[in-house]
Every structure is written in structure tokens, then in C-alpha cells.
Structure 1
Amino acid sequence: MTGPRTPIREEPSREWEHYNLWVNVKEALYNLPYQFHTDTYIEGVSLTDLPTLSPAVGTTIEQQLVDNLNQIRSVWDPEGRYSEYAFIRQAQTFPDVLLTKSGGGDITPILGIELKTWYLLAKEKEPNFRFCATKEACAPADLVVIVPWLLSQVISGRPKLLKPFVENARYVAAWRNYYWEHTRQTEDDRGIIVPEDVRPYPRKSDAINDRPVSDRGKNFGRIARTGIMEEYIEEIYNERIAGIEIRHWLRFVKIFSEGRTREEIEQEFERFEREIEQGRYGKNEGKIESVWMILTGLRRLIWEESGTDS
């Protein structure tokens, strides 16, 4: 007896009239970190408040990403065939973004994007975004896109975007359910209640989410926990800011959020500084100077917040 089949990625047919557009849109999404520009600038925010602030900043970034997609039309519509179409953000409706004709009405969108941001220095080491839409609510061309970001100077600056996670929405929905029903470690009921008569591009009032029979930990839909993003997350944490891998910045910032004593935090500062002097993070003088500036600002923020020894 064979076990359940692993989900297979379903992509639009190459015969689909909008296939080349779909390919170009994916290319545009991967280009967003290089094309993205924003006037948002953050400084003077405490380390403990940054994660609290990140949802509001993330929402702003999501809207700006939609604006940026429309501004780089030449990437996804180089021949001008879709001049009447634009990316439009929907409020509290799945998916978040539609590529459709202005005016909406009964016009069927060409594709949809469930678009979320991920603040890399949040307390959780993985995106906590939930994706619960049932597979049949997703059209073959629909995408799930998660865009990681952090501040350009780690604790201050403009939001800096990194390579996004881009995946077929139907595949994500199928993989989520496969994980929930077959591969996760649990003794609870693995069943999922799937809504009926669901079609792509639903109305706001439509019930389109799959629901677990049992979910005591409220974890259903957390796609980062299903393994589908594992390689991608590892790749992102290998990216460098000011010459240092993001995983090391995360380790360092986390120390303060764990409620360590001032002495313990100072020891970590000294350890980090020794590693820099020993060339562990490279020997580029410009990058090393940037790291020292960030550490100085970080130290000042920490001591301003803590005041005295714990």
C-alpha cells in the first residue's frame, strides 16, 4: 500500500495566453529589492519597540511594493500589451493584490498575489505569516510572496528589502495540508475541514479557509513551519548587512530581548568586537567601520533603555 502523494507544483500552462506575463511578473518580484525606494526612515526607536513597530512598517512596505510593481511596468509588460492593467491592493480580501483592469467590476483578474512582509529581527526566527486559503480559492497563476526586510543600519535607517520568497499559491495550500495531515509530529486529530464550492478571486464575505479539526497551538497555516521555506530561510540568514551575516545580527539583538544583565550584554559586545578585530567577518575597512558605527549606536540604545544594572 502506497502512502499519500507529495504535492506537485502546479503552474499555468505554457499555452495560456498570459504565460509570458506571468513569467515576467515573477521576474519583477525578484527585482523588487533592487528597485524598491521609500521615504520611510526610522531612528531613535528602542530595540524592544522595533518588533512592535514592524507590523505598521510592514503594512506601509506592502503598499509601497504594489506601487513599485506598477512603476516597473517595463519589466513585466515590455511590449505594452497590458496598458489597461495594474496591480491593485485589496483590503482584507484574498488575495492581497490583483493584476486587473482599473475599475474592477466583473472583470476576471489575470493573477493574484498574497503579499506579506517579514521583519528579520523579530523575536520569532521564521515568518509567522498564516496562509489558510483552500487550494481551490487559488488560480493556477496566483502566487504567495513573502518579502523580508530590516533597517539599512540594523537599528535605524530605511527599510532594506531582501530576496523574496515566491511560490505558487495552489502548491503552498496543498503542501500546508500535506504537512498537517501526514508529516507533522502530533497525536491530535490531523483532519482538515475543506470549504465547498470555492472559486478563485472570492468575495470578502466568502468562506475560503481550510480549518483544522484540532489545533490547540493555533499553528495551522504557519507555512514556515511546514518545511516549504527551509532552504530559503537558510539562504536569507546567510545574507550580509554591513559585512556581517544576518544570523549574527539576529543572535546579537536577541541577547538584549532575552533580559540579560548589563554585564552579560557587555560581555557579548566585547566578544563581538573581538571577532571583528580577528577578521571573522572580513577585513574590508569600509564595512568594518560601518559595523563599529552600528555597534556604537546599539550600545547607546541599550544603555539608554536599561539605565542601571539589572
Structure 2
Amino acid sequence: MKKNATPPAPSRALPEPGDDHYQLYKDVREAISSLPIYFRTETHISGVMATDLHTLNTVLGATLEEQVVRTLNLIRNSWDPDEKYALYSFVRQAQTFPDVLLRKTSTDGILLGIELKGWYLLAKEAEPSLRFQVTAAACAQRDLIVIVPWVLGNVISGSPILFEPFVESARYAADYRNYHWQFIRETKQDRGIDSPKIVGPYPSKADQILDKPHSDSGGNFGRLARTGMMDAYMEKLNKVQLCGIKAIYWRQFLKAFQESTTDTEARLALERLRQRVQHALIIPSPKAQSALVIIAELERLLDLGE
């Protein structure tokens, strides 16, 4: 496909007040945004080497997603205050889109779906690795894509804590993904995309629902974080304070620490982080003191490994 005049970007076709379940849709979105307040988990992680922390999303991703669904059901008063939907609940489904359905158990009636993914905020890649390739026609108007960032409470140990989720219309995300792929990104490759011909919302496992690019040697099609739609959100999260230190600095440190080939390089990474913390200590902060404790623990682990 040749890059000619760029057409207008797609717009969001969101539910409107005339929708029978418009208030439910609004309340569910608000409930999702409040997840960091209500989320509780019995999962506790300790004894993980700093060099292995980047693997946590692989290990804990499915567990956290299950616990997020449980939390949504526990706070149903926030999205169903009048008990109008008492027979409905959020349920996970495996290996098909979307990951989560708000469904009536007795009849399998579905009101909306959520494509739900966790994102370990301190992973090596400074962006969610989610590849969303579902075609727009498979997304109902009320369907959402939700990315939930999380870290361990004490950075290198503790129970997972959540931060403000990224919430977007699934149909819009699919439309904009294709728009960016075909008209915005810089490439000399074929920009074409093949979409399945006959597909609708809430497909079965056997249905073909993925858009397929003509050329994608890098495997980047579907990476929403690389379309620009998440830029402002990710910039905001980079400034989140973890034990008094911005998330972006923790990520830079862990990446350098993980890629260190010698103890000397690892100690240099620790020293750079210590300097950032000590700079923060110009204004005394219990959180920054906590960061120094974490650094001391990492140094102790290094000493044990010698």
C-alpha cells in the first residue's frame, strides 16, 4: 500500500445515554479506575534476585488478572449500586477474546467484555508488551481494553500493588492500531492489513478474529504502546514514586543491574541509584529512607554471592 494523503484518524464510537446499559458502562469504567484502592491479594513475593525481577509478569500475570476479576466482583456495589444486575458477574474465559465477560450465568447473556492485561511497571521494556491484534468487528461497543500496571510493594519484595489502569474502547484501539500501521508509522514495507470477513462480537475459540498485516518482520503489529495512544499515560506512570524514587529510575537501575556481567558493574549501578536517593534526601523523606534500605539489601545479596 502506498502512503498517499493521510485520511482522518478514527474516532471513538462510545455508548451514549440512549444505550440501555449506558450507566452500567460508565460505572464499570469508574470501578476499573478505582481498582488500585480496593485491590487486595494474598500473594507475597520474596527472595527473588534483582536479576530475575523482570520475569515477574510472566510468573504472576495470570494470577493478578484473576485477582483483578475477583476484585471487580467484590466491589459490585460501585458498578451496580441499585442491584439491577444482581444476576451478572465478571468471569474469565480462556484462549479467546475478550479475556473477561460481564455475563448472566443463567442465560449466558453478555453485557460487555474486557481484554485485561497486567503490566509489570519495572520490566526491562518501558512499555506494555501487549499485542492486541483483534479486528474491530469482533469488539462490541461497550467492550474495553484494560492494562493494569503493578509492582511489588517494597520494589524487590512484598505483595503486588496496582496503579491507575489504562482503559480504552477495544473497538477504537483496534481501529487506531490499523490506522497507525497503515498511515502513520515510518516504513518502506507493505502497509496492507487483511481482516477476517465474517466476524462479530464475543466470538468462539474457533473463529478467526485477528487482523493480519502483509509485512511484519519485527512482530510489532498490535503493540498499542507503539502507536502513540499510550504516550501520555506511560509518561505519567514513569513519574510514580516507589519508596520515594520515580519508577523510571528504578527501571533504569534494574535494567543496568540485570545486564551487569560483573559484581563491579552491579555495584556501580547500585551506587548510581544511591546517588539519586541521596539527592532526594535533601528534603527528608521516610520513603527515600526505605529506598536506602532496599539498596542495602541488594548490596547484602551481592556480598552473599561472592
TM-score range, shorter chain: over 0.9
Partner of residue 32 from structure 1, selected from 32, 35, 38: 35
Match of residue 221 from structure 2: 220
Partner of residue 91 from structure 1, selected from 85, 94, 97: 94
Match of residue 48 from structure 1: 51
For residues 25 and 277 of structure 1, the distance between their equivalents in structure 2, rounded to whole angstroms, comes to: 42
Superposed displacement of residue 304, structure 1: 4.0
1:241-296: CA deviations, max 9, x gaps?
11111011111111112225322332332333233333367422x21321111111
Structure 2 unaligned regions, length at least 5: none
Aligned partner of 1:66: which letter? V
Cα pair 2:238 2:247 within 8 Å, conserved: yes
Match of residue 251 from structure 1: 252
From the superposition, tell whether residues 281 and 151 of structure 1 become closer, same or farther in structure 2 (CA, over 3 Å).
farther
For residues 43 and 112 of structure 1, the distance between their equivalents in structure 2, rounded to whole angstroms, comes to: 34
Cα pair 1:275 1:281 within 8 Å, conserved: no
Superposition TM-score, scaled by structure 1 size: 0.93
Match of residue 73 from structure 2: 70
User: What is the RMSD of the two structures over their aligned residues, measured on CA atoms?
Assistant: 1.6
Cα pair 2:257 2:269 within 8 Å, conserved: no
Cα pair 1:28 1:76 within 8 Å, conserved: yes
From the superposition, tell whether residues 296 and 32 of structure 1 become closer, same or farther in structure 2 (CA, over 3 Å).
same
Match of residue 239 from structure 1: 240
Aligned partner of 2:213: which letter? P
1:165-220: CA deviations, max 9, x gaps?
00000110011001110111111100000101110000111000000011111111
From the superposition, tell whether residues 225 and 281 of structure 1 become closer, same or farther in structure 2 (CA, over 3 Å).
farther
Match of residue 292 from structure 1: 292
For residues 122 and 263 of structure 2, the distance between their equivalents in structure 1, rounded to whole angstroms, comes to: 21
Cα pair 1:133 1:208 within 8 Å, conserved: yes
2:223 is the counterpart of 1:203:
no
Cα pair 1:120 1:148 within 8 Å, conserved: yes
Aligned partner of 1:137: which letter? A
Match of residue 148 from structure 1: 149
Match of residue 229 from structure 1: 230
From the superposition, tell whether residues 234 and 303 of structure 1 become closer, same or farther in structure 2 (CA, over 3 Å).
farther
For residues 220 and 65 of structure 2, the distance between their equivalents in structure 1, rounded to whole angstroms, comes to: 24
Superposed displacement of residue 124, structure 1: 1.1
Cα pair 2:56 2:120 within 8 Å, conserved: no
Aligned partner of 1:46: which letter? M
Match of residue 124 from structure 2: 123
Aligned partner of 2:200: which letter? R
From the superposition, tell whether residues 294 and 208 of structure 1 become closer, same or farther in structure 2 (CA, over 3 Å).
same
Aligned partner of 1:287: which letter? K
Aligned length: 303
Cα pair 1:47 1:301 within 8 Å, conserved: no
Superposition TM-score, scaled by structure 2 size: 0.95
For residues 183 and 55 of structure 1, the distance between their equivalents in structure 2, rounded to whole angstroms, comes to: 31
Cα pair 2:196 2:211 within 8 Å, conserved: yes
